[in-house]
Structure 1
Amino acid sequence: MSKKITFPYNSQYPSVADLRRKAKARIPKFAFDYLEGGCNEGLNLARNENDFDNIYLKPNYLRVGGDIDMSVELFGRKYSAPFGVSPIGLQGLMWPNAPEILAKAAAKLDIPYTLSTVSTSSIERIAEVSEGKAWFQLYHPTENSLRDDILNRLKAVECPVLVVLVDVPAFGLRYKEIKSGLSIPPKMSINNVLQAFARPLWGIKTLQNGIPSFATLKPYMEKGLDMSQLGQFMNRTFTGKVDIEKVAAIRDLWKGPLVLKGITTDEDMQAAIQIGADGVIVSNHGGRQIDAGESSINSLIKLANNPLYKSKIKIMMDGGIRSGVDLARAHAVGSEFNFMGRPFMYGVGALGDEGGEHTINMFKTHLYQIMQQLTIEQISQFPDRLIKV
């Protein structure tokens, strides 16, 4: 009989839906809308989740199974599970100190956490609390001097993996953010203040941890910027398209693993391989950029099953995963690793300091159960359980 492994988590919140309900009751509406929102009508946001329902897996009940091992090796490091925490901007606004909570939990339970350039903790602080294990996602600056300085800071803390975001040539048209003032850069309205008063624990935690800011970018800002000046700084600093030449320049400067996030097409996949990227994260930015695009999982199916790509680059995905069954489906159709953003923010929004570890262990429990149900022992066996439809 195979050895049974358990992962401790709060049994009152066994699913992402449970965490979401609790988080919604604790996070001010303007911040929750920022977390949940897609672009335009939210159609691609919905497709990201719904298209997983078209993937079917088959069990093999009479097969003799062995001990389950969910670990995966990625860029020379073994992780305890085949998933990590996606980069999310303004994390500390949605729940105070969220980047540190998640980075600590990920380091302790041995999965990757990715810090965004526009999150609310600095490169150096996250490197410290994650014991040097955290990845970093770069919003490419307009000025090469700023890019180079950020890369030097990453080298100084020995960041293990650099992720370059390529799918934001312009910020998506997000209606809820426009109305609430939480577009980039954010601004607080009277309505936002009133919503904050309605969530007193969030307010207390915010006072304890300090007003959130773009901590990584602080060294490049003039002191005392008001919101209008901050807007000018953000537009001046990050308005610009990431093209093949810019990524090639980063490849020359960065000698560690380089991952491009936001790849969805054959053309961009071929360019990533040409440049010498080590991996791609197939992603549509959580449905926040192009409403007429296809879901991340459907883009993955096309790219991961092209034999010209599979042997040359690590193919990962992000977008729409809400359970261990979804993780299983992603692996069955070719993903080698997966990232999730909103579920982890629901976790810290619902459970605060315990939310990071809870959500990781919850997903591990889900994934372990589906591996038992399908009678497989390794993540690499999921494609064997795919029903071709």
Structure 2
Amino acid sequence: MSQKEIKINPKYPSVTDLRNRAQKRIPKFAFEYLDGGCNEDVNLHKNTAEIREVELLPYYLSKHTGSQMKTELFGHVYDAPFGIAPVGLQGLMWPNAPEILAKAAFEHNVPFILSTVTTSSIERISEITEGKSWFQLYHPAEDRLRDDIIKRAEAAECPVLVILCDVPTFGFRPRDIRNGLAMPPKMSVKNILQVLGKPSWAMETLKHGQPNFETLKPYMPKGLDLAQLGKFMDQTFSGRLNEEKIKPIRDMWKGKLVLKGVANEADVEKAIQLGIDGVIVSNHGGRQLDAGESTIKPLTRIAAKYGDQIKVMMDSGLRSGPDIARSMASGAQFTFMGRSFMYGVAALGAKGGDHTISLLKTELQQVMEQICCEEVKDFPNHLI
């Protein structure tokens, strides 16, 4: 695939600009679901703040022949060292969002990870990406359902299966509770008025229809109301992973297997013993444990200790090209972002995915050229 031409809307030259525009374009309940963390949002803010404490060293007099962002990961050479993280309920935040982002990721040759609980199906996203999208499995309570979803991901030619370990409980998110978006969700008069105040979002939602858990549709009883949906989700999924739950997945899945949500060295040690191919150091975007560490701290320790034994990747808190550079310098071999891309789509609709990827590529390229870093693998040489 030839490298995608970089195009950026000059009105929105930062993720902060996209976030501000998104806030004006989508209902408050949808924006707060996207934007918020858990409890008092301590870890949400700490994630980005502590990434930005990392400093890079430029070598201005070195012989520099140009910088190259291409990165090999699991046998595929991607055009940049970042991808789109799995996000639930994407179609609630902007209609058709997973398809918009999957298409942009495919065209830019970066990975897109589809969440089990988002609003497009495994099959549809695989069709858009020609079998290059990754799939993130939210662990089902029943083996039968687990096996069927894994078989569908295999049939869709997903090269990488991501299993989630950081949702043993549902995060306590005050905004979502106030907005009626806790399980079971409710549409209050207040929320309906918010929808009426965002006509472009409302019209797109009418055009694409009410968002549904498309991957889960075959397993859901017909005619569920919203209250029954909450009960179904609680009964169907068990977010708590352990070694005994991972072993049969590793036996069944022939592609690359990644564990997402790792936050300490002991879990990485177990992942290596279980034959897992990669870990994503993550705290779920600060949405699960307010009293935990930011992602950059365990990432630094894990990469130093295990980076030569397993692929060490990272998400949570990254919002810019310089943030990607800081994380790579700290030992990440690849990075993922969720909110940044959702801000882009909520801000710019069908053009949001292309714009946000282009923006991040441009920012990252500038950092590499500025510090005289020729290849992504050389970032650790620039860590102060």
Would you say same fold, with TM above 0.5? Answer: yes
Give 5+ residue unaligned stretches, structure 1. Answer: none
* Structure 1, 275-284 or 44-53: larger mean CA deviation: 44-53
* Structure 1, 37-46 or 238-247: larger mean CA deviation: 238-247
Q: Who is 1:101 aligned against?
A: 100
Partner amino acid for 2:209?
A: G
Q: Could you tell me how far apart the structure 1 residues matched to 2:283 and 2:38 are? A: 11
Any conservation in 2 of the 1:185–1:234 contact (CA below 8 Å)? Answer: no
Partner amino acid for 2:321?
A: G
1:14 aligns with 2:9: no
Q: Over aligned residues, Cα RMSD in angstroms?
A: 1.1
Q: Could you tell me how far apart the structure 2 residues matched to 1:148 and 1:182 are? A: 30
Q: Who is 1:161 aligned against?
A: 160
Residue-by-residue CA offset, 1:134-163 (whole Å, 9 max, x unaligned): 111000000010000001101111111000
Partner amino acid for 1:152?
A: K
Q: TM-score normalised to the size of structure 1? A: 0.96
Q: Could you tell me how far apart the structure 1 residues matched to 2:183 and 2:171 are? A: 10
Q: Who is 1:65 aligned against?
A: 64
Partner amino acid for 1:314?
A: K
Q: Who is 2:242 aligned against?
A: 243
Q: Who is 1:312 aligned against?
A: 309
Paired residue secondary structure (2:77): strand
Match of 2:341 among 334, 344, 366: 344
Q: Who is 1:365 aligned against?
A: 362
Match of 1:326 among 323, 327, 341: 323
Residue-by-residue CA offset, 1:197-225 (whole Å, 9 max, x unaligned): 11000000000011001010000011100
**How far is the alpha carbon of 1:185 from its aligned partner?**
4.3
Q: Who is 2:32 aligned against?
A: 33
**How far is the alpha carbon of 1:311 from its aligned partner?**
1.6
Q: TM-score normalised to the size of structure 2? A: 0.98
Q: Who is 1:87 aligned against?
A: 86
Residues 276-291 of structure 1 aligned to structure 2 (within 5 Å): 276-291=275-290
Q: Could you tell me how far apart the structure 2 residues matched to 1:189 and 1:268 are? A: 42
Give 5+ residue unaligned stretches, structure 2. Answer: none
Paired residue secondary structure (2:7): coil
Paired residue secondary structure (1:305): helix
Paired residue secondary structure (2:368): helix
Q: Could you tell me how far apart the structure 2 residues matched to 1:284 and 1:104 are? A: 27
* Structure 1, 175-184 or 278-287: larger mean CA deviation: 175-184
Of all paired residues, the percent bearing the same amino acid is 58
Residues 104-119 of structure 1 aligned to structure 2 (within 5 Å): 104-119=103-118
Q: Could you tell me how far apart the structure 1 residues matched to 2:6 and 2:208 are? A: 30
Q: Who is 1:292 aligned against?
A: 291
- The number of residue pairs the alignment matches comes to 381
Q: Who is 2:146 aligned against?
A: 147
Q: Could you tell me how far apart the structure 2 residues matched to 1:331 and 1:198 are? A: 41
**How far is the alpha carbon of 1:6 from its aligned partner?**
7.3
Match of 1:374 among 343, 351, 371: 371
Partner amino acid for 1:369?
A: Q
Dislocated runs of 4+, deviation >2 Å: 183-187
